[in-house]
């Protein structure tokens, strides 16, 4: 995974967004070609988006960082500029009143964003975080128990995906058996293209969102009748205290988005870290002997193989970035991956090096007010999960026959298809 496959970039890909699915899986040569042609960290595609708006790709660390941090210049209100993703941005229950915009925190700004960010941050307070380590360790050990005697495991399904899903149900106070449905709904949503979804993709996404919305509403109504000490009860109480009445639209939309944020990217990060650990077996003993070294290992793993490829922004006013004029109303895709592999920022950007001076500056968690609120929990998942895995195994290696390290189909996310490992029982 750490050495990119340099696919030939077609002439059409330099003219029109988006790149081919094959290129999205291995985009290194694509980014290099666009950087060379633009002579800058921002590239304007000669052909506009299908809706007629100019479309840009931001690739340099400086450009991506600037755009993410300056929401007054590039905001996340995308309903009018990317109507194809309307299925993700509409009210769950249009016939019910609401005090808020329909978008989740990733797609909204100003006071609406600030309130929703407070609700998201409530899941990651110091008091709650202090109790998560034990929960993650318990879940990790229970999952390891199921495969420890086999000498092999599908880390993707049996560990990396299962841990955040099971922990999520516990900390939100949801029935554990509902994890499979949460996974199914979020998997459908994360595969929706943000630029040219097919009719089938849109229909599947709308169906998944509707099913998830009904499920979340049922859980919310049960908390209204019988509040507990779980996150869901707390955030509903907070919303009612602010607005005076239960707003089912905003609560259902918020919890749906928390499902998405708390599972998919974390699972991808755990899979990528497993691959890096297997590719560099000397790191396994180093981390066992010096647990504090794990932090830098995981940050470099995230820099090299962060699960999120890019995210769109809307240019509020005409502005110049790195010598490139971006007209007001343009669509700008900011590439977290390209920024974290910028050769002007990172020496040998496709080489794993946990001793990098600036490895903590990567963009895989985003930047600015939209930086992933769950980043501390994702790091805790990784720290505790690998602590348990390394304590109970030795000689972790990739099972080449059963693994498929090519990324899953999808537009925004870059997550290995299947990571199968072999190991010795400790």
Residue-wise pLDDT for 219-237, tens only, equals 999 999 999 989 999 999 9
Looking at residue 4, what is its pLDDT?
Answer: 55
Q: What is the mean pLDDT of the chain?
A: 92
Closest CA to 305 of 64, 4, 60: 4
Distance of CA 158 to the CA centre of its chain: 20
Give domain status of residue 63, yes or no. yes
Mean pLDDT confidence for 327-341: 96
Q: Does any domain span residue 3? A: no
- The four Cα atoms 380, 381, 384, 385 give a dihedral, to 10 degrees, of -160
Specify which of 169-173, 354-358, 399-403 reaches the highest per-range mean pLDDT. 399-403
| Structure confidence by residue, pLDDT tens digits, 13-56 | 999 999 998 898 889 999 999 999 999 999 999 999 988 999 99
Question: Per the domain annotation, does 5 fall within a domain?
Answer: no
pLDDT value at residue 411: 81
392 closest CA partner among 346, 425, 370, 368: 425
- Per the domain annotation, does 6 fall within a domain? no
List, in order, residues 6 or more apart from 234 with CB less than 8 Å away.
Answer: 122
The residue among 67 and 358 whose pLDDT is bigger is 67
Q: How confident is the model at residue 198 (pLDDT cuts 50, 70, 90)?
A: confident
For the chain, give the percent of residues with pLDDT over 90: 77
Q: What's the confidence (pLDDT) of residue 352?
A: 95
Instruction: Please compute the mean of the pLDDT values over residues 419-425 and round it to a whole number.
Output: 98
CB 421 within 8 A of CB 195: no
pLDDT of 88 above 70: no
Q: Which domain does 150 fall in, by range? A: 12-425
CA angle in degrees (0–180, nearest 5) for 389-393-397: 95
| pLDDT above 90: residue 71 | yes
Which band of pLDDT confidence, cut at 50, 70 and 90, is reported for residue 202?
confident
Check pLDDT > 50 for residue 409. yes
pLDDT at 271 over 60: yes
> pLDDT-derived band of residue 2, with 50, 70 and 90 as boundaries?
very low
What pLDDT is stored for residue 5 in this prediction?
A: 57
Sequence-distant (≥ 6) Cβ neighbours of residue 130 within 8 angstroms: none
| pLDDT higher at 65 or 196 | 65
In whole angstroms, what is the distance from residue 30 CA to residue 28 CA? 5
Q: Is residue 4 assigned to a domain?
A: no
Residue 142 has pLDDT above 80, yes or no: yes
> Does residue 208 form part of some domain?
yes
Residue 212 has pLDDT above 90, yes or no: yes
Which structure tokens are listed for 51?
């809706």
CA-CA distances (angstroms) from residue 177 to 145, 162, 256, 259, 317?
19, 12, 17, 15, 48
101-132 pLDDT, tens digit each? 888 888 899 999 999 999 999 999 999 999 99
Mean of the pLDDT values across residues 343-363? 93
CA atoms within 13 A on the CB side of 375: 19
pLDDT for residue 299: 97
Q: How many domains does the chain have?
A: 1
**Which residues, in sequence order, are bridge partners of residue 420?**
154
CATH number for the domain spanning 130: value is: 1.10.630.10
Phi, psi at residue 209, to the nearest 5°?
A: -65, -40
Provide the percentage of residues in the chain whose pLDDT is more than 70. Answer: 96
For the segment 376-398, the average pLDDT, to the nearest whole number, is 96
Residue 350 has pLDDT above 50, yes or no: yes
Give a yes or no: residue 7 inside a domain. no
pLDDT at residue number 6: 62
């Amino acid at each position: 995974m750490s050495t990119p496959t340099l696919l030939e970039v077609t002439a059409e890909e330099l003219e029109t967004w988006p790149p081919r699915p094959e290129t999205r899986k291995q985009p290194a040569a694509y980014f290099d070609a666009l950087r060379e042609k633009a002579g800058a960290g921002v590239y304007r595609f000669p052909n506009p988006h299908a809706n007629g708006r100019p479309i840009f790709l931001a690739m340099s660390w400086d450009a991506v960082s600037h755009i993410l941090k300056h929401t007054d210049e590039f905001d996340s209100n995308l309903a009018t500029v990317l109507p194809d993703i309307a299925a993700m941005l509409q009210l769950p229950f249009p016939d019910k009143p609401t005090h808020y915009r329909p978008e989740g925190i990733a797609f909204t700004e100003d006071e609406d964003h600030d309130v929703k960010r407070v609700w998201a941050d409530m899941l990651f307070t110091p008091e709650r975080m202090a109790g998560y380590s034990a929960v993650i360790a318990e879940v990790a050990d229970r999952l390891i128990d199921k495969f420890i005697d086999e000498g092999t495991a599908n880390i993707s399904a049996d560990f990396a995906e299962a841990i955040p899903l099971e922990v999520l149900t516990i900390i939100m106070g949801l029935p554990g058996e509902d994890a499979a449905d949460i996974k199914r709904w979020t998997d459908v949503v994360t595969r929706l293209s943000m630029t040219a979804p097919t009719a089938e993709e849109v229909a599947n996404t709308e169906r998944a969102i509707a099913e998830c919305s009904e499920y979340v509403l049922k859980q919310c109504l049960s908390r209204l009748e019988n509040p507990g000490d779980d996150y869901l009860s707390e955030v509903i109480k907070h919303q009612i205290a602010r607005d005076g009445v239960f707003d089912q639209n905003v609560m259902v939309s918020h919890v749906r988005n928390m499902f998405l944020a708390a599972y998919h990217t974390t699972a991808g990060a755990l899979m990528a870290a497993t691959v890096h650990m297997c590719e560099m077996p000397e790191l396994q003993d180093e981390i066992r002997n010096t647990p504090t070294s794990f932090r830098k290992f995981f940050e470099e793993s995230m820099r090299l193989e962060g699960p999120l490829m890019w995210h769109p922004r809307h240019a509020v006013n005409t502005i110049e970035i790195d010598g490139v004029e971006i007209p007001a109303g343009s669509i700008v895709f900011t590439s977290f991956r390209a920024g974290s592999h910028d050769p002007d920022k990172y020496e040998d950007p496709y080489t794993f090096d946990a001793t990098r001076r600036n490895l903590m500056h990567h963009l895989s968690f985003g930047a600015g007010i939209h930086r992933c609120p769950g980043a501390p929990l994702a790091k805790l998942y990784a720290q505790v999960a690998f602590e348990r895995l390394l304590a109970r195994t030795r000689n972790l290696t990739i099972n080449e026959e059963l693994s498929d390290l090519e990324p899953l189909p999808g537009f925004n996310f870059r997550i290995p298809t299947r990571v199968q490992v072999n190991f010795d029982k400790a």
